[in-house]
Structure 1
Amino acid sequence: MLPNHLFSIWEISKRIIVLILLAIGPIGCKKLIEVDPPVNSIIGNEIYNSDATASSVLTGIYTDMSNAGVFCGSNSISLRAGLSADELVATTEPSDILNRIYTNSLTNNGDQLFWTDLYTYVFRVNSAIEGISQSQNITQSTKRQLLGEAKFLRAFFYFYLINFYGDVPLLLSTDIKVNNVASRTSTDEVYKQVIADLIEAKESLSTMYLAANLSTESNERLRPNKFVASALLARVYLYVEKWDLAEQEANFVIDGTSKYTLESLTNVFLKDSREAIWQLQPVNAGMNTFDAAVFVLAAGDGRPEGPDGQAFSRPVYLSNQLCENFELSDRRKLLWIGNANSNGRVYPYAFKYKAWIFGVERTEYLVVFRLAELYLIRSESRLMQGRLTGDNSAETDLNIIRRRSGLENLHSSDKLTMLTYILNEKRSEFFTEWGHRWLDLKRTGKIDQVMILAAPLKGGSWTSYKALYPIPVNDIKRNPSLRGHQNPGYPEI
């Protein structure tokens, strides 16, 4: 069940794989990585012999999450799920993976998208949980915080696995004999584990944002705290339709602290944004976020230059369907969408992250969770509990977000109308962020209705099975328990 490259390494030496998987990435982000990363002399469980080195294990995961891959850049959830839905237009050749995602024409041969990366992270977190739990040398306060961070991360990774692939193997250890033959676990059971991990994480984590040494408070929002765990728990409860619990967790974040407030639209994605609940710090020298590097088109031919004049082609721009969804007076369209001219044509692009130029001061961090989502989670939860209008109702939270964007209040006593308002607001608020549109279409049962119209406009066609991505063929071949259990519509070989 582990990715191909992990199998051979594991069979060579357990100690070596721990080294490789837990290695710290680039060390240019000093505010996050204040503790020296582990070096090759620290191997196996010895990495858990002190608070500092144990902390660096989780720091290494955050660093790698910031360094392209599944969480940012051209392979990211934000870009690829946006292509799957109706947010983005691909500019690549038909044979390219991004074009196959865009036309909803995925196969199982090499089109693994997020599977391998996410399971690699799951394995790393499981390894950390085992090492931290077994250590006799880590102080109890550090052990508590690190286990909270690790449990949160495992929940975060599994949230995306089940929402992209449906039933998935639930791996809770590094036992190769167990993992190698793990069968698919029902989505309901995986959600139970996700919720259990998040409840444990919320209990264990500090209310503060901690620095890398875990002993001092940080001004930056880079390590998960209680409110980060609660934010994901609110989202999960929304997805499993536990409306009262979703509202409760949203309340905990919105009303439980003065740390968070809605920012002006120009400040939402800055590194010191008070709307941010959890951020990833860019780690590449001379760069801000990979999302800016991928989404922002330059004036002229849309090919901004990087170091030494190297051209970086942007693979996507925003779809007409998305741009036409904005109301005329919506300030998000003015401030979060840019326009590039090329050969007499205007190409709209996501301009939430603006600092794509190399060598500038680092001003933007990648926002993973932010307060606006909690307002809209609470709005939908209140709607589903029958509180549509009046004080502390669905319309209350919906209109808080709308007023921030310069829009008038909306009012309706009809449940379906109000749900449409909320989902439209989420579409305008969270485009090109973490697959919100794609996942909302699926969880609300609207995906067929939307995609049967959108797919032909993208040069493809739509069938319901395409709501899930294919399991990589190599994993099916390797794991006997997966044979015969490919997602419907995709061949196994």
Structure 2
Amino acid sequence: MIQLTVSCKKDFLELTPKGTATEENFYRNETEVYQGLIAVYDVMQWGTTGGYTMKQPLMSAASDDCWAGGGNASDQPGWVAYDNFNMDSRLGPQVGLWSKNFTGVNRANIILEKIDKATTLSTTFKTRVTAEAKFLRAYFYFDLVRFFGNVPLIIKTIPTADLYTQTQVAPAAVYAQIEKDLRDSYPNLPAVVANGEKGRISRGAAKALLGKVLLFQNDNAKLSEAATLFNDVNKVGNEYGYSLLPNYADIFKPDNKFNAEVILEIPHSTLAAWGDWGWVNGGEGNVGTQFVGMDSYNGDTYSAGWGFCPVTLSLVNVMKTDPRFVTSIIDGAALKTAGGTYNARYQNTDYFIKKYAPLKAYRSNSGTAELNWPIDEIEMRLADTYLMEAEALVRSGGSAARALELLTAVRARVGLTQLPATLDNIYNERRLELAFEGHRFFDLVRTGRAVSVLGPVGYKAGKSEYLPVPQQEIDLTKGVIKQNPGYN
């Protein structure tokens, strides 16, 4: 993603940007429209709207891969509530996730409307920016529908009189709009993004997200198309330049951003030198990195963090003999043996997330270091789409040989032997290959395994699939917005 430098603190219901430039007098030329587009991208970086709700570590805590952790059960009570599925309309991470994604939707809607009315934009510019804005709206709605189910479907800016009259629609309608936006988007995006624009959306990213959206709907009639889309992204010699990196650990190195395996990456940097704890989203750093680090750590390699997301022993036990363990998980006991020290915090297991850990070599020397970690978030990469294509093929009765080829490629990259391409093997590979990358909880829900895996820690069918709707949304709309089933 382009290095984002435009940040506007704005609730999703606010229709005009703050500052001297207003909606009416901005967007006059390509430079201003491009700045507006960057403001839409900017929301992807946000993780602290309405509390600390950085998606990757939060979703690890919601899954069986991590506990919530932190100082105690009251440190981040929303995380602990999600960890044990004890949320209610006022307790949980829902405020941040709702407001972030609707902010993104609103900003995308503004850009799309301004572009549609503009008369000074070149056709090439207008076509690409429209495609990017539609992708981004689809991206934000994909999170909204997965987190909340029934949500308002807003595809244009809202008149002030209608702010609190927006009713929810069923997930099927939201998915239909997401599909439409992505189908409109990908033909008009470049296959390869120029070096100076890394991070802007490519055609491959839009096709991969559309395939993922089709797969997540669990509609057998859509699985063949999903497999075809993934195949276009995954095939050797594809036009997008994607390939599995030979060395698994290289994927996550902070100095190897936008590598050949990455399809969608959210960048973070130290460039803003941010120091405002009151509004962390104004910076460009990854606060999730600070969260997962070992509390008060003193030793080699790592910088101190806050002790969230200790890794569960269930994941440790299945990964201990896997070659990806050493890249994915920090063995705290081994660090102590080598002379390191750290504080054991709430739910401590002595195992910590390594993929996105705070590294001394990348600690910012300007601004507040804890707010400025330059560790990117990888949202989609080729091994992910390999495994999704394999799954779609198996579930749709497609080529068993191709499914086996894909699963084998992911395993062979780390020196593992071939296994049959069964759904169980594919799902298990996703857990190990993609650990801590934000996929596990949604994978459990969409494949019907959440009750058996997460039931012992409080997950309930018919309720825990979705977060509660923020109570403030229900109150502001005087009950027009309805609460999700099972919550009060």
Q: TM-score, normalised by structure 1?
A: 0.81
Aligned to 1:36: none
Asked if 1:297 is matched to 2:294, the reply is yes
Asked if 1:66 is matched to 2:50, the reply is no
Equivalent of residue 132 in structure 2, options 149, 163, 169: 149
Cα separation, 2, equivalents of 1:382 and 1:388: 6
Cα separation, 1, equivalents of 2:229 and 2:197: 22
Aligned to 2:268: 282
CA contact (8 A) 1:292 1:356 kept: no
Taking a change above 3 Å as real, the CA distance of residues 441 and 302 of structure 1, as seen in their structure-2 partners, is farther
Cα separation, 1, equivalents of 2:300 and 2:466: 33
Aligned to 2:278: none
For residue 88 of structure 1, give the secondary structure of its aligned residue in structure 2: coil
CA contact (8 A) 1:300 1:340 kept: no
Aligned to 1:450: 453
Asked if 1:339 is matched to 2:331, the reply is yes
Asked if 1:396 is matched to 2:408, the reply is no
Cα separation, 1, equivalents of 2:343 and 2:29: 60
* Structure 1 residue 179: Cα displacement: 4.5
Letter in 2 for 1:86: D
Cα separation, 1, equivalents of 2:185 and 2:24: 23
Aligned to 2:182: 198
* Structure 1 residue 305: Cα displacement: 9.1
CA contact (8 A) 1:230 1:253 kept: yes
Q: What are the within-5 Å matches in structure 2 for residues 79-90 of structure 1?
A: 79-90=57-68
* Structure 1 residue 442: Cα displacement: 1.1
Asked if 1:490 is matched to 2:473, the reply is no
For residue 267 of structure 1, give the secondary structure of its aligned residue in structure 2: helix
- The one-character-per-residue Cα deviations of 1:85-112 (angstroms, maximum 9, x if unpaired) are 2111122332322212212111101532
CA contact (8 A) 1:250 1:375 kept: yes
Aligned to 1:226: 203
Taking a change above 3 Å as real, the CA distance of residues 121 and 103 of structure 1, as seen in their structure-2 partners, is same
Q: What are the within-5 Å matches in structure 2 for residues 340-419 of structure 1?
A: 340-341=332-333, 342=342, 347-354=350-357, 356-357=359-360, 358-359=363-364, 364-387=375-398, 389-390=400-401, 392=402, 394-411=403-420, 418-419=422-423
Aligned to 1:422: 426
Unaligned residue ranges in structure 1 (runs of 5+): 11-16, 21-39, 210-216, 413-417
Taking a change above 3 Å as real, the CA distance of residues 406 and 292 of structure 1, as seen in their structure-2 partners, is farther
For residue 277 of structure 1, give the secondary structure of its aligned residue in structure 2: strand
Taking a change above 3 Å as real, the CA distance of residues 463 and 383 of structure 1, as seen in their structure-2 partners, is closer
For residue 87 of structure 1, give the secondary structure of its aligned residue in structure 2: coil
Cα separation, 1, equivalents of 2:296 and 2:23: 51
Taking a change above 3 Å as real, the CA distance of residues 69 and 350 of structure 1, as seen in their structure-2 partners, is same
CA contact (8 A) 2:451 2:459 kept: no
Asked if 1:139 is matched to 2:116, the reply is no
CA contact (8 A) 1:250 1:374 kept: yes
Taking a change above 3 Å as real, the CA distance of residues 244 and 194 of structure 1, as seen in their structure-2 partners, is same
Aligned to 1:75: 53
For residue 437 of structure 2, give the secondary structure of its aligned residue in structure 1: coil
Aligned to 1:471: 469
Equivalent of residue 180 in structure 1, options 161, 164, 175: 164
Asked if 1:268 is matched to 2:261, the reply is no
- The one-character-per-residue Cα deviations of 1:378-412 (angstroms, maximum 9, x if unpaired) are 1011101224643x2x2211111111122110026
Cα separation, 2, equivalents of 1:129 and 1:302: 50
Letter in 2 for 1:257: E
Higher mean displacement: 371-380 or 59-68: 59-68
Asked if 1:121 is matched to 2:104, the reply is yes
* Structure 1 residue 149: Cα displacement: 0.7
* Structure 1 residue 124: Cα displacement: 1.3
Aligned to 1:245: 225
Letter in 2 for 1:317: P
Letter in 2 for 1:349: F
CA contact (8 A) 2:43 2:104 kept: no
Q: What are the within-5 Å matches in structure 2 for residues 6-25 of structure 1?
A: 6=11, 10=14, 17-20=15-18
Letter in 2 for 1:260: Y
CA contact (8 A) 2:270 2:373 kept: no
For residue 251 of structure 2, give the secondary structure of its aligned residue in structure 1: coil
Asked if 1:325 is matched to 2:318, the reply is yes
For residue 265 of structure 2, give the secondary structure of its aligned residue in structure 1: strand
Cα separation, 2, equivalents of 1:257 and 1:385: 26
CA contact (8 A) 1:220 1:272 kept: no
Pairwise CA RMSD of aligned residues?
3.0
* Structure 1 residue 289: Cα displacement: 4.1
Q: What are the within-5 Å matches in structure 2 for residues 101-120 of structure 1?
A: 101-111=82-92, 112-113=94-95, 114-120=97-103
Letter in 2 for 1:184: Q
For residue 349 of structure 1, give the secondary structure of its aligned residue in structure 2: strand
Cα separation, 2, equivalents of 1:313 and 1:407: 34
Cα separation, 2, equivalents of 1:363 and 1:122: 26
CA contact (8 A) 1:88 1:316 kept: yes
CA contact (8 A) 2:265 2:377 kept: yes
Cα separation, 2, equivalents of 1:304 and 1:185: 49
Percent same amino acid among aligned pairs?
Answer: 24
CA contact (8 A) 2:294 2:352 kept: yes
Asked if 1:432 is matched to 2:410, the reply is no
Cα separation, 2, equivalents of 1:452 and 1:354: 29
Cα separation, 1, equivalents of 2:119 and 2:471: 41
Cα separation, 1, equivalents of 2:374 and 2:148: 35
For residue 197 of structure 1, give the secondary structure of its aligned residue in structure 2: helix
For residue 368 of structure 1, give the secondary structure of its aligned residue in structure 2: strand
Q: TM-score, normalised by structure 2?
A: 0.81
CA contact (8 A) 1:155 1:197 kept: yes
Taking a change above 3 Å as real, the CA distance of residues 474 and 68 of structure 1, as seen in their structure-2 partners, is closer
Letter in 2 for 1:130: E
